[in-house]
Amino acid sequence: MASLPLFAEFDPYAALGMDVGYRQYLTSATSPVRPFAGGSLGFLRTDTINSTFSVPAANVVLRSVPMYDASTVLAFAVSAGALVPIGPNFGIQGGVDFRWHGDLNPVDGLAGTGLERINDKSRRWSMPLTVGAVVRF
């Protein structure tokens, strides 16, 4: 096995997701702070992802190596946060989600290189933090 550094640059991760969820407020509508918990279930659609691999010391560059086909995968999340009412029709909220999505469709673009399995597991967890305003009409 060679001990030369290997570099990789991947296409941008472009995805569109949609989910349906439920949020339960844990206090009454008149509380000064309204904590909530929730969950959602949906899907995530990603574009094709290619990569460029290079070994500068050996002057080797592999361009447009297919890594993942366009994929549609299951996604779910659990969330928690709080709403702070400012007035009868307005409030500020913040929260955190723990999101998961399944494995993308791998493409074996590195056959015969010893790197065939690097794209076998693409499922991932993310933890977005959100801040927003709530307006009631």
Taking the C-alpha atoms of residue 51 and residue 48, their distance in angstroms, rounded to an integer, is 10
| Mean pLDDT score, 10-19 | 94
3-state secondary structure of 58: helix
Residue 116 has pLDDT above 90, yes or no: no
Which residues are CB-neighbours of 131 under 8 A, at least 6 positions away?
92, 93, 94
Domains of the chain as residue ranges with CATH? 7-135 (2.40.160)
Could you report the per-residue pLDDT of 117-132, keeping only the tens digit for each?
Answer: 888 889 999 999 999 9
Q: b/e for 33-67, b at 16 or more Cβ within 10 A? A: ebebebbbeebbebeebbbebbeeeeeeeeeebeb
pLDDT per residue over 96-107, tens digit each? 999 999 999 999
Query: Backbone phi, then psi, for 125, in 5-degree steps?
Result: -105, 145
> How high does pLDDT run on average in the chain?
92
The predicted structure's pLDDT at residue 67: 92
- pLDDT tens for residues 30-72? 899 999 999 999 999 999 999 999 999 999 999 999 999 999 9
What percentage of residues in the chain have a pLDDT greater than 70?
Answer: 99
